[in-house]
Copies of this chain bind each other. A is one copy, B any other.
Amino acid sequence: MPTLRLALCQVNPTVGDIAGNADLVRRWTRKAADAGAQLALFPELMLTGYPVEDLVFRRSFVAASRAALERLAADLAADGLGELPVMVGYLDADGPPQVSADAVPGRGARNAAALLHQGGIVATYFKHHLPNYGVFDEDRYFVPGDMLTVARIGGVDVALTICEDLWQAGGPFAVARQAGVGLVLNINGSPYELNKDDVRLPLVRRRAAEAGATIAYVNMVGAQDELVYDGDSMIVSAEGALLARAPQFVEHLLVHDVELPPAKEQVDHAEELADGMRIVRAKVSDILPPAATGGMAAGGIIEPVADEAEVWQALVLGLRDYVNKNRFPSVVLGLSGGIDSAVSATIAVDALGPDRVAGVSLPSQHSSEHSRADAEDLAKRTGLNYRIEPIQPMVDTFLANMSLSGVTVENLQARVRGVILMALSNQEGHLVLTTGNKSELAVGYSTLYGDSVGGYNPIKDVWKTLVWRLAKWRNADAERRGETPPIPESSIGKPPSAELSPGQMDSDTLPAYDVLDPILIGYVDGDLGREGLIESGHDPAVVDKVLRMVDTAEYKRRQSAPGTKISIKAFGRDRRLPITNRWREHG
């Protein structure tokens, strides 16, 4: 049996940075070659980053992607890496955008992959299954491919596929079986979701069985706006055995030798038709770089981590890439002494280091002594830059010049805080972080243009009960490593309060979070209606109260900052609901 040494390059491209992404391919192809690889794989839309959204409609952008691909092939050869076949995702156009006589805008772009070898493009493949659900809009952007590309590499027939091709039955993997391939390459830009890693392996196994072939699955790592790509690249044999698996949330070179069946004798240029897809065969080379190093290369199998650790890493990576890829020097956030700002600050320190995090205590006359002390304690534990900006003088001037009362005065305090944080942002260049958790956002328990001020929200997609779990996990993890737990115990233990009026508690307005969150999870994440929630055992009166709050808060949520997505129904791209809408689930 032929053996191929595969290098799965789990790297972190940046959307729009075509030149930088091409450089990344050159650097990692060098690493792969140094490890004796005979075939290297890079993620989906590697050259453009993913998702590129409406940039697809700019012809100059598509042209730049194609030009960069050709230059990359030449550069790899000039680097002395031309003998190593490299599969890389890029954006292509199938001729000019289709112009319809009927004024329906045409889609002309292709989510494409190329095989580069000896300075040229020796094979291309266009993604066949286009996802158009959840965060995906690919029917908006791409024309589906209708051919399966099979390349003969080192005596093995290898099929090229992209991401969603793996998630749907039929199509390329079924055709791969008919084409008799030994290996299917699948390159991905597959965003993280809580528990998605548990779904991936069974799915890859199912597809390996469908194709009757080994599968090399490489996924992007890094974050793009609300999406985090978690890597989790893997190789699974035709029989379903997990041969190698990369860690999540870090760049990684997974090098592994796989034994593969030799290709059958076939006419080189044959074009066959199967399941409505053409099979297009390309001969790459039987002469590959030798798998130099003695013995077999084994990539190893990373064990999955606990949910809290996984979510924490996702949130840290999400914030770090948002800040760095947008070139913000630092972040600033308000520290109330409460759990949300404490967890957000700790995520920021883990992502950027304490020197790039400014924490501001913004006390008012309603701020308790323990709040101020807890904020200061957090600053000491994490080492972030701490300062105090009292809000009372500004609040008092507004109150002296206008006739304000009740909830208006509560909101006013939150808004003065927002103005101060934005002034610090303008003056010093920080990105402002807003720190409302998903439960708060869902029920609208926040002040528009007040605590919602900020360009990014690290815990936007984290239910309040999970915020607490994350805090406890992070402290325990620090203790396990002999470090100071970053989050003050009293921030974790005390009852939540917005501290905008005397003695105010969240529980004055909201059900207890361990009652609230399961209802929200059913309604928001699960699209359950009122009856379904009541059937699940929730109190009808509480259900009605919660649903009323959620239904009327959509307007506020529309104006909230992006934040790392970890669930299947994050607020943002996932959930598209009309603002003007009279449909009410609550009784």
Contacts and interface: CB of A to CB of B under 8 A. Distances in A.
B422 A419 contact: no
Interface string A442-483: 000000110001010000000000000000000000000000
A582 B168 contact: no
A415 interface: yes
A507 interface: no
A53 interface: yes
Give the oligomeric copy count.
2
B578 A53 contact: yes
Interface string A408-435: 1001100110111011001100000000
A291 to B, nearest CB: 34
A66 interface: no
A405 B422 contact: no
Interface string A482-514: 000000000000000000000000000000000
Nearest to A202: B103
A350 B211 CA distance: 65
Interface string A93-123: 0000000111111010000000000000000
A579 B225 CA distance: 6
Contacts of A59: 527, 529, 532
Contact of A582 (B15, B133, B583): B15
Contact of A580 (B14, B389, B397, B422): B14
Contact of A562 (B105, B532, B579): B579
B419 A103 contact: no
B393 A580 contact: no
A283 to B, nearest CB: 32
B559 A418 contact: no
Could you say which of A134, A415, A420, A561 has the most chain B C-beta atoms within 10 Å of its C-beta? A415
Interface stretch (A147-155, A244-252, A299-307, A321-329): A321-329
A386 interface: no
Interface in A121-161: 131-134, 137, 139-140
Given A58-B527, A397-B394, A325 B582 contact: yes
B168 A104 contact: yes
Contact of A401 (B53, B105, B393): B393
Contact of A419 (B14, B393, B419): B419
Contacts of A415: 418-419, 422-423
Nearest to A448: B422
A85 to B, nearest CB: 28
Contact of A167 (B104, B325, B449, B582): B104
Contact of A402 (B61, B100, B132, B423): B423
Contact of A416 (B199, B419, B427, B584): B419
Contacts of A531: 60
B449 A54 contact: no
A16 B554 CA distance: 14
Nearest to A51: B578
B532 A580 contact: no
Contacts of A530: 60
A404 interface: yes
Nearest to A401: B393
Contacts of A104: 131, 133, 167-168
Interface in A565-587: 575-585
B103 A169 contact: no
A268 interface: no
Contact of A404 (B105, B407, B427): B427
B577 A53 contact: yes
A16 B585 CA distance: 10
Contact of A53 (B51, B396, B419, B576): B576
Interface string A539-561: 00000000000000001001101
A415 to B, nearest CB: 5
Contacts of A584: 16
Contacts of A390: 401
B449 A224 contact: no
Contacts of A102: 167-169, 203, 206
20 contacts: A16-B578, A16-B582, A16-B584, A52-B583, A53-B576, A54-B527, A55-B578, A61-B529, A100-B169, A225-B580, A321-B580, A389-B402, A396-B397, A398-B419, A398-B423, A402-B420, A404-B427, A411-B423, A418-B449, A558-B562
Given A61-B583, A394-B394, 14 more contacts: A15-B580, A17-B583, A54-B576, A55-B583, A60-B585, A101-B206, A102-B169, A103-B203, A105-B134, A322-B580, A390-B401, A393-B400, A394-B397, A422-B449
The 10 A-B pairs with the shortest beta carbon distances in the complex, nearest first, are A16-B583, A60-B529, A17-B582, A408-B426, A16-B582, A16-B581, A397-B397, A139-B139, A53-B576, A105-B133
